[in-house]
Amino acid sequence: MLKDDNYLKLKPEWVLRNDGNMVILYLTSTKNIEYQILDPVTATVISLINGRRCVGDLTKTIGFLFDISTDSSRSLLENIVNVLNDKLEKIDVLDVPDTTAVEYNPLDFLVSPEEFVCQHRLARPLTLMLYFSGWCQTNCIYCYADLTNMRKLNHMSLGQWMEIMEQARDLGIRMLQLTGGDPMSRPDSAEFLAKLTEMGFIFLASTKCYVSLDDANRLAEAGWNNPVNGVNREFQVSIDSPDPETADRLMRCKGYLSRATETLQNLMDAGIEPKVKAVLTPINYHQAYDHVETFSELGIRNFQFTSYARSHYRHDDHLFLTDEMKLKASDLLKAAKESWPDLIIEGDAVKYTLPSPESQKERRKKMGVQSRLFCRQNYAWDRT
């Protein structure tokens, strides 16, 4: 129940956008695409919520705008807040005003009921998937990308890319997904990411390439640590094993662990906090605890562990984890979370319980081989 002296604030990661004949509310994120279409009344009410108006004032304003009673206005406001906060909390209820909250002009979100169209195809994209590079510095045994053909591609120049990104910025697009080979594999990769940062785009950079201290400093100077709508950019370095020989075996390249470790140090020296991601296979699943221990000692605070998934271009059934392996990895990661409770340890490999024989049978029946033939290379956070 809202109180008259409560203040309402739209969380900064949630953004209102007029999309022509409808208004949408979308989530600023480096991982998820989440949005909802708002009816004109809801859009108007949300545009009034700015962290500075108390519930009492909002009730009066809503009543005046829609020519309804105080009780009806209060009921409308509470209903909208409850609906918006049902699954994902989008509106904060505060005891004091917050002058840092985003303030919208309600006139920017007026949509005539006659013109309002509740459709799912947006007039402008929320995010762009950028295929900046088809190159890579590794040859991973589980590669999700079509590297054979990608390495033959001719790349657009940095100048051409920047023309496109300026158009995207002018359209109000702020979220990007980097895909391809490795986004850091071109000689001008650091400059490209720095320019994207300076332009206010948010994205996840996931790499297995070596990042020099100069390149790391260039990203930091561009404002890498400046949040967009309260959300930070992420720099993810993929390291599948704390053991040099195992890491080389999985990456199919010599000296990978040494270079990747230096990359982590260069990023941290530049003031960028990297995230370490590992893909677990029968080769390295038993090293999960040691993985966290080794890299946390270097100063890494954020980890992601994911189990090997079917690859369209380079798949091997022997790389799948058995249920027992998944359970063992999960137990090791739970133990790591207990040993280092201040660390972020996440991913599908963290929480796992053995399914019952009946559920396994139902799963096999429901998910045939063809339904599992998919490629995850389109998503940077899965690819590298």
| CATH number where 56 lies | 1.10.10
> Residue 119 falls within a domain, yes or no?
no
Would you tell me how many other CB atoms lie within 10 Å of the CB of residue 244? 14
Same domain, 142 and 101: no
Write out pLDDT tens, residues 248-299: 999 999 999 999 999 999 999 999 999 999 999 999 999 999 999 999 999 9
> Residue 208 falls within a domain, yes or no?
yes
pLDDT band at 362, cuts 50/70/90? low
Cβ atoms 7, 98 nearer than 8 A: yes
Is 375 a residue whose pLDDT tops 50? no
Write out pLDDT tens, residues 323-347: 999 999 999 999 999 999 999 999 9
Cβ atoms 130, 206 nearer than 8 A: no
> Residue 115 falls within a domain, yes or no?
no
pLDDT value of position 121: 82
Into how many domains does the chain fold?
2
> Residue 120 falls within a domain, yes or no?
no
Cβ atoms 330, 337 nearer than 8 A: no
Q: Which domain holds residue 42?
A: 7-109
pLDDT band at 379, cuts 50/70/90? very low
pLDDT band at 368, cuts 50/70/90? low
Token readout for 34 is 């989440």
> Residue 1 falls within a domain, yes or no?
no
| pTM: predicted TM-score of the whole model, two decimal places | 0.87
**Strands 14-18 vs 23-27: parallel, antiparallel or unpaired:** antiparallel
Write out pLDDT tens, residues 116-146: 777 778 889 999 999 999 888 998 999 887 7
pLDDT value of position 112: 77
